[in-house]
Each structure stands twice: as structure tokens, then as C-alpha cells.
Structure 1
Amino acid sequence: MSYVFGIDGGGTKTICLLMDENKIVLGRGEAGPSNYQTLGIEKAKQSIQLAIERAILSANIKVDRHLNIEAICLGLAGVGRPKDIEIVQFFVQNLQLTHNLPISQLWQPKNIVVCSDCAIALVGGTGHSSGIAVISGTGSIVFGQNRQGKTKRVGGWGYILGDEGSGYDIAIRGLQAALKFYDGRGTPTILAEKFQVYLGLKNLEELVEVVYRRGWGVKEIAGLSLIVDRAAAEGDRVADDIINSAVAELIWATKTAISGLFNQTEDFEIVTIGGVWGGEANCRGRFEVAVSAIAPLAQVISPRYEPAFGAGLLALNALNS
């Protein structure tokens, strides 16, 4: 029996799945973040190694020095350029030499697959390699691949330069709208009251202390998108406009990806991934309606599998290539 590792490495955690040649998950391990761009190579490598070790330990199989793991795929945040791929491939080759991993033989270079976390999200979401992934969580990005293997990435430039339609984008717009209303220079909205109650503030002026002095980061601010979503679901016009604007940005990015990959006669799947799609304001329903107008043959789906499973599928594909 041959085995592979599928690894999903992000800025928060690293997940490793141990899979067999029949696509059955035998073990799962989790560790800390592995974005080497922010952590450095050594810390990223430590998280990846620990996730692998834990996946092996959790597997209900006999583990010895002859475990026949033939391929590995790592879908990592921060890996978008050829130089990044070279760096990751190099430290994975070194990782094989550790005495903690029961690997019977060194992986061939073609069996060390390194790609972006978007690529494994698409493969995991659809269960195959073609289609489009529209990811909207803390950040946002659209990534697609057609049946000929051509890829297209739209957005994903981070919270300062982009991430339109993301949780962070929605939250910031909501906070700005609430503060404008508080100032008396904006449209009336229940967002002001909702943020105040949710954060336990005496008044909205205390937002300055919360956001700046407490050192809130992108993730914490993005979490406030739920407040905007809930206000939109309750009929607040300002919040609803923010949600519509976010969906419009994601549609625009999706349309751009579609035009670069598929023609009007092709059917394909669009998988929606991330926390923004699960809100009460029906972002996903709004998105589906808009998609039907620009790509009638496309089907909008929810993820079939997690990204780490997609990495496992790509590792298995490497064995058959």
C-alpha cells in the first residue's frame, strides 16, 4: 500500500492528512502556523514536521521505518512565486532526513508538490482540479483552473491593498458607517448601537481604545463582519448596501477569472469557501443569482472536502503523472 501526505499550512495552523492510494484518510495531525513569509523557514518547518508526526501517530496502522509514503503536497499560505516553491521544496527534502519521520525512501522531486493554499482549496472544494474557488473569510481571493491546466488568480492582495469582499472589508466599512452616523455625517444605521452593545462600550468613541490601543489585528476586526451581516439580515439599509457591495466585488473578481479560463459553452463548478458565505444575510444566495447571469452553465457549490484533502489528492496525482 502506498501513502501520501496532504498538508494545508496557513497563518493560524497547519493540518496534515495521511492518505492511502484509495483516497482514504488514515490519520490527521494539527500544529501551529507555517507561513514562512511571516514566521521564517525554521518555524514553518517545525510546524510542518509536527503536523506530520501527529498525523502518523493518529493513524490506525502499524508505523515503522518501512511506511511507504511516496508523495507529499504542501499547500501553503505565502507561496505564490517560483522562488517560494524552491525554498519549500528544499526544506522538505531536508525534512525527510529527520529520524522522527518513518519514511522508507526519499521522495523524488516530482513527488514533492508545493503550491498555494488557494490551489488545494479549489481541489478540496470541488474534489478535482478544475473550477473556481471564491474564498472570502478574513481575506479574499478568487482562484481558478481550467481543464487544460491554465490557472488564474484574482485579488488576494492583503487587507491594505485589496481583499475586497472579505470579512475585514465588510467590518471596516461597517465600522466607518457607524462612526459617520455617530458624527452626524452619515445615514442612520443600527450598526452604531450593535457595535456598542457587542463590544460593551459606553459610547462609540471607545472604539479608538479597542482598535488602536488594544492592538487589534486583521483577524479580530474581520470578526466584526458578523455584526454587519446580522444588521443586514434585520433590514438595515446601510448594512445591506455593504453586503451587496461585498458580493459585487466577489462577482467582479469571479467574472474576471471566468473570462480568463472558461468559455460560454463550458460547464464548471464554483466553490464558495470561507466564513462570509455562512452569514444570515444570504451572501451566498445573492452571489448565486449574480453568477447565473454571467455564467449560466456554472454551478455554485459548497466545499466537498477540506483543503488538506485537496493537497492529498494532488499528492496522489503526482504518483500517477
Structure 2
Amino acid sequence: MRALYLAIDGGNSKTDVLLGDESGQILGFVRGGTSSPHNVGLPGAVAVLGQLIRAVHADAGLPLGAPIEAVAAYLSGADLPIEVARLEHAIAAENWARRTIVDNDCFAMLRAGTAMPDAVTVVCGAGTNCVGRAADGRTARFLALGPITGDWGGGHDLADHALREAARGEDGRGRPTALSRAVADHFGLPTVEAVSIALHFGDLPMERIHELSPVLFEVAATGDEVASALVERQAAEILAQYRVAAGRLDLLGGPHALVLGGGVLRARHPQLHDQVVAGALALSPHVEVSVLDAPPVAGAALLALDALGLSAAAEAALRAEIAARPPALARLTEPVPD
């Protein structure tokens, strides 16, 4: 009988669940909303996963009672050891599989990006995070709880700072910057002051500030010193995370991988990307830098296959199937109702 597994990548905005077998074949795939316990609580996270697991069985044409060898769940919000332990206990209690594996979603991104046993990933999306692993099983991670743990950067932070610098540049408290004109134009208003007033009174939703991250990179690409300084600070933060994680694992002196993930890094903005690559090579000439080009749920699937002790041929087959059918891994499948 073939061995089946469930792979879960649960983020702040979406959750992907894949059902596969020991050969690397993808039997079912579904996508739903957030399952981060920081957003929906622990019971809510388990409920979301339960809906999606029922849906992925239906997508694969398998009954819910079909034996599953392992469920590998990599979730945003699994930051502290106690959070990982609570999630693992709650998921194991659902008896979705004979074996339950739970950890932070960054480890799924790391495995999706490389098969090298010594590796670090820095994720820069809405926020930022970093994890590393060594061939001997040691890991490195940060608390990644936002400003209270010293975090800086990611699309939301960059957007907030772009608006702040645009306002200060316009009213004279800061250096003149093309961000002022670009921010006002983005929202179709005459000045940044008008943008700020519209945000204050709710005429513009505060969430729209997040739209300014791409605007920042566009302005920086023109050579604007203020915008460029923010991009340089982001590059320095990414490199600091890499340096510390790789240093803790004693990786800097030998071959290892650095996987760059998250929307900001996957966009490959030249001004940011080139600084990060050059900075990483300056820290270690042995590093192999890559940008994640596979969905993180692929990493969760590969980690499930690793845990089951399955062959390298299964990894090659899984990667080939994912590469050949990206539309299948991008469609939205609604969870089946309770």
C-alpha cells in the first residue's frame, strides 16, 4: 500500500494543503484563508485546517478514513517552542495522521528553496523573519514578534517609512524627496498632507498605506537619496539576520545556502537584490544565494517525505510536478462545509 502524507503551509493570508504519496505524486491540493494562531487563535487554526483537510481528501477522491502516514504542518505564528508544542498537541489530537510534525512556516520555505543540509532563509514579505538549519540537526531562529523583539523591515514597515519620509520631506522637517510627489500621486491627492488627513478621517483606509512599498522601490530606482536609504536599511537588516543565523550554526566558513523568500525579495528589485547578494558573498564566499521559486507548501511536502525516509527520486518527481502544473497550485479551492 502506498504511503500518503498531508503537507500544510499556513500563512497570515492563506493556507495551502497538499495530499501526496511516496512517489512524489500530488493527489490533491486546496487553498483557504489564514490558519495562523496569531490571527484566529489555536482552536480557530485547528478548525481551518480541519476544513481544508476534508477538502483535500475530496479533491484527491479519497475517503476521510484513508490512512495517512504523516501530517507536516508549517504555520505562521509557530514562533516560540511553547507555541509549536501547543499546535503539535492540538493537531495530533485530531488524528489526521499516524505522525504529526509542526514547526514555523519559514522552515517550509527553506526546504522548498534548497536541498542543501546547511542553509539559512531570510523571508521579507509583509514582515520579516529568518531561520537556519545545519546538517547535524541544529537550528537557528529569531523570536520574530515584531517591534518588541527588535524586528525591522518587510513591506508594511517600508510602506510606513515611505509615508513618513514623504510627509517630512513635504513640510520641511526632513530632506526633500521624490517620495512626496509619488505618494500624493499614488492616492490621487494634491499633497501628502491631504493623504494624511484622508487617512486620519478614514476617507482612505489605513490598510492602503501598505500599497506604498512598490512606490518606494520605484522612487529609489531613480536615485532618490531618501528612498534609497530605506532600501539600504532593508538590505542591511536582511544581511544582519543572515549573518547572525549562519554564525550561530557555524556555517559562514563552508558551503551553505541562503534562500531569499517573501514578496519583497521575490520581486528581485535590483537595488535591494544586488546589495543583499553582494553583502552575503562578502560575509561568506562559500554561500549559494537563490530566490525561492517554488510554493512553500512544496517545502512542507518535502519535509514530510524526509520524515518518512523516502527517496531522492520522490523529491525530483514532486518538484517536477509542481513546476509542470503551477495553475493547479494557484487556484483557490473553497473548503467543504462542515
Length-normalised TM-score, structure 1: 0.87
- 2-structure distance, mates of 1:280, 1:199: 23
- CA change 1:82–1:279 in 2 (3 A) is closer
The answer for the alignment partner of 2:306 in structure 1 is 317
The answer for the alignment partner of 1:192 in structure 2 is 180
Pair 1:87-2:75 in alignment: no
How is 1:1-321 mapped onto 2 (pairs within 5 angstroms)? Answer: 1-59=2-60, 62-64=61-63, 67-96=66-95, 107-108=97-98, 111-127=99-115, 130-154=118-142, 156-159=144-147, 161-214=149-202, 216=205, 220-277=208-265, 278-320=267-309
The answer for the alignment partner of 1:99 in structure 2 is none
Q: How many Å apart are 1:48 and its aligned residue?
A: 0.7
2:97 partner amino acid: W
Q: How many Å apart are 1:162 and its aligned residue?
A: 3.7
Q: Structure 1 vs Structure 2: percent identity of aligned residues?
A: 28
Q: Out of 111-120 and 81-90, give the one that drifted further.
A: 81-90
The answer for the alignment partner of 1:100 in structure 2 is none
Q: How many Å apart are 1:125 and its aligned residue?
A: 1.9
- 1-structure distance, mates of 2:241, 2:81: 24
Deviation string, structure 1 residues 102-129 (Cα, Å, up to 9, x no partner): xxxx633xx2001011111111222455
- 2-structure distance, mates of 1:124, 1:45: 24
- Unaligned stretches of 5+ residues in structure 1: 97-105
Q: How many Å apart are 1:210 and its aligned residue?
A: 4.4
Residues 140 and 165 in structure 1, CA contact (< 8 A), matched pair in contact too = yes
- CA change 1:305–1:236 in 2 (3 A) is same
- 2-structure distance, mates of 1:210, 1:251: 36
Secondary structure of residue in 2 paired with 1:40: helix
- 2-structure distance, mates of 1:193, 1:148: 52
Secondary structure of residue in 2 paired with 1:224: helix
Q: How many Å apart are 1:181 and its aligned residue?
A: 1.1
Deviation string, structure 1 residues 24-53 (Cα, Å, up to 9, x no partner): 222111111111233122321221112222
Residues 125 and 155 in structure 2, CA contact (< 8 A), matched pair in contact too = yes
Q: How many Å apart are 1:240 and its aligned residue?
A: 1.0
- Measured on the aligned residues, the alpha-carbon RMSD in Å equals 2.2
- CA change 1:91–1:128 in 2 (3 A) is farther
Secondary structure of residue in 1 paired with 2:308: helix
2:45 partner amino acid: A
Q: How many Å apart are 1:272 and its aligned residue?
A: 0.5
Q: Out of 42-51 and 12-21, give the one that drifted further.
A: 42-51
- Unaligned stretches of 5+ residues in structure 2: 311-338
- 2-structure distance, mates of 1:120, 1:306: 9
Length-normalised TM-score, structure 2: 0.83
Q: How many Å apart are 1:235 and its aligned residue?
A: 1.8
Q: How many Å apart are 1:86 and its aligned residue?
A: 3.1
- 1-structure distance, mates of 2:102, 2:213: 32
- 1-structure distance, mates of 2:127, 2:30: 25
- CA change 1:210–1:44 in 2 (3 A) is farther
- CA change 1:160–1:173 in 2 (3 A) is farther
The alignment covers a number of residue pairs equal to: 307
- 2-structure distance, mates of 1:155, 1:82: 10
Residues 146 and 152 in structure 2, CA contact (< 8 A), matched pair in contact too = no
- CA change 1:212–1:52 in 2 (3 A) is farther
Deviation string, structure 1 residues 95-152 (Cα, Å, up to 9, x no partner): 33xxxxxxxxx633xx200101111111122245531111001100111111111111
Q: How many Å apart are 1:195 and its aligned residue?
A: 0.5
Secondary structure of residue in 1 paired with 2:27: strand
- CA change 1:151–1:46 in 2 (3 A) is same
